Amino acid sequence: MPVIGVGIDVVDIERFGESLARTPALGARLFTEAEASRPLASLAARFAAKEALAKALGAPVGMAWHDAEVVSESSGRPLFTIRGSVRARADELGVASVHLSLSHDAGIASAVVVLES
């Protein structure tokens, strides 16, 4: 399967937490209810994932943050549930598989997304 998009993003966890504290509505705008219940490092990694996905999709205009939800399999492996604006762009590009890797350590959260047709 050919790779049709790659995205990566890195987030400073402390700075991200300060942004969420300074602008309380930001969390509700970025995260679904299920995501919002996660600890700060996990939220930062999920934000990095959404940014990485946007990059892999070519930064589509009008992408709704809630249209890309990071969920976990029972094994803990993260994956995206995509719908709406994100699904439309993925379909337009011919995306068949979305691969996601998350990490957080030493105050930094990161994510890598690979899109395959």
Has this prediction a pTM greater than 0.85? yes
Distance of CA 109 to the CA centre of its chain: 11
Specify the pLDDT at position 61: 82
Q: Which two tokens stand for residue 67?
A: 């249209």
Do 39 and 104 touch, CB atoms closer than 8 A? no
The rounded distance, in Å, linking the Cα atoms of 8 and 48 is 8
What confidence category does residue 30 fall into, taking pLDDT thresholds of 50, 70 and 90? very high
**What range does the domain containing 34 cover?**
3-116
Specify the pLDDT at position 46: 98
Mean pLDDT of 42-57: 97
CATH value at residue 105: 3.90.470.20
Domains identified in the chain, total number: 1
What mean pLDDT is reported for the chain?
Answer: 96
Segment 76-100, tens digit of pLDDT: 999 999 999 999 999 999 999 999 9
Specify the pLDDT at position 1: 74
